[in-house]
């Protein structure tokens, strides 16, 4: 197995790249979907809700298969990395959209009334009053979704991407060392999850998430 370490590291690099790109897609999709569901224009709300319901209501693996294997039949061919990061990001972003919507609607009504009293436009109220407060509440669930996204990247091995999981299967097929190889892969995914958790916790401390203060008391 030691001589195949470099091969596994190559797969880890792909996993990290898909995770990073997927997180960007998920964040953009979450805010677009969450804010879209609160938009005053009905078509925007319908479109945002359709996106959320579709990606939450169907399997991420089937979504990957559809975008990678089915779209070429309609003349649309996408790179495996684009499909992997994009679909995983959109899937997790759909759950994040509900986090965004819920956090904004949970801001006390008095804050909205205060914004109106100051003659702020809806956009100004959202930017300067609602979002700053809602972002603090979004951090813990966003952290959970980031971990779910990192674990879900293992699915991209099914669409020919040579990520950590796919390369691990190749090594197992060659060496038959299932325990050692898959044990190492488990540790790597756990370490990635812990790194994401640590990053979110630092953000919570930076923005003064109230739950941390309560836990220390």
**Domain 2-216, CATH 1.10.3720.10 — does that match?**
yes
Q: What is the reported pLDDT for 208? A: 67
Residue 78 to residue 69: CA distance in whole angstroms: 9
Instruction: Give mean pLDDT, residues 139-148.
Output: 94
Largest CA distance in the chain: 70
Tens-digit pLDDT profile for residues 29-65: 999 999 999 998 999 999 999 999 999 999 999 999 9
- Number of Cβ within a 10 Å radius of residue 63: 19
Tens-digit pLDDT profile for residues 90-120: 999 999 999 999 999 888 888 877 877 877 7
Is residue 213's pLDDT more than 60?
no
Domain positions in the chain: 2-216
Q: What is the reported pLDDT for 179? A: 93
Contact by Cβ (8 Å): 130, 104: yes
Q: What is the reported pLDDT for 129? A: 82
Tens-digit pLDDT profile for residues 156-194: 999 999 999 999 999 999 888 999 999 999 999 999 999
pTM over 0.85: yes
Q: What is the reported pLDDT for 131? A: 84
Residue 149 to residue 15: CA distance in whole angstroms: 11
- Which H or E run contains 73? none
Residue 151 to residue 11: CA distance in whole angstroms: 14
Could you tell me the CA-to-CA distances from 11 to 73, 97, 142, 168 in Å, in that order?
Answer: 29, 30, 26, 8
Contact by Cβ (8 Å): 134, 100: yes
Instruction: Give mean pLDDT, residues 66-82.
Output: 95
Mean pLDDT of the chain: 89
Q: Give residues with Cβ within 8 angstroms of 83, minimum separation 6.
A: 64, 67, 68, 159
Q: What is the reported pLDDT for 1? A: 56
Retrieve residue 137's tokens. 């509440």
Tell me the CA end-to-end span of the chain in Å, nearest whole number: 48
Q: What is the reported pLDDT for 214? A: 45
Contact by Cβ (8 Å): 207, 134: no
How much of the chain is helix, strand and coil, in % rounded to 5? 85, 0, 15
Q: Give residues with Cβ within 8 angstroms of 35, minimum separation 6.
A: 48, 100, 101, 104, 126
């Amino acid at each position: 197995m030691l001589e195949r370490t470099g091969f596994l590291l190559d797969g880890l690099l792909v996993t990290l790249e898909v995770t990073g790109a997927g997180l960007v897609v998920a964040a953009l999709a979450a805010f677009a979907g969450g804010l879209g569901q609160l938009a005053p224009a009905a078509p925007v709300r319908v479109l945002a809700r359709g996106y959320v319901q579709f990606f939450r209501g169907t399997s991420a693996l089937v979504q990957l298969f559809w975008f990678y294997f089915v779209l070429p039949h309609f003349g649309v061919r996408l790179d495996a990395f684009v499909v992997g990061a994009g679909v995983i990001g959109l899937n997790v972003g759909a759950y994040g959209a509900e986090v965004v919507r819920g956090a904004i609607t949970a801001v006390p009504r008095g804050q909205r009334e205060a914004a109106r009293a100051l003659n702020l436009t809806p956009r100004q109220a959202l930017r300067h009053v609602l979002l700053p407060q809602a972002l603090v509440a979004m951090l813990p669930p966003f952290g959970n979704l980031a971990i779910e996204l990192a674990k879900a990247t293992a699915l991209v091995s099914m669409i020919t991407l040579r990520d950590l999981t796919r390369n691990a299967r190749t090594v197992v097929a060659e060496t038959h060392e299932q325990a050692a190889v898959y044990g190492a892969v488990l540790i790597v995914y756990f370490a990635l999850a812990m790194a994401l958790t640590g990053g979110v916790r630092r953000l919570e401390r930076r923005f003064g998430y109230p739950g941390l203060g309560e836990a220390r008391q």
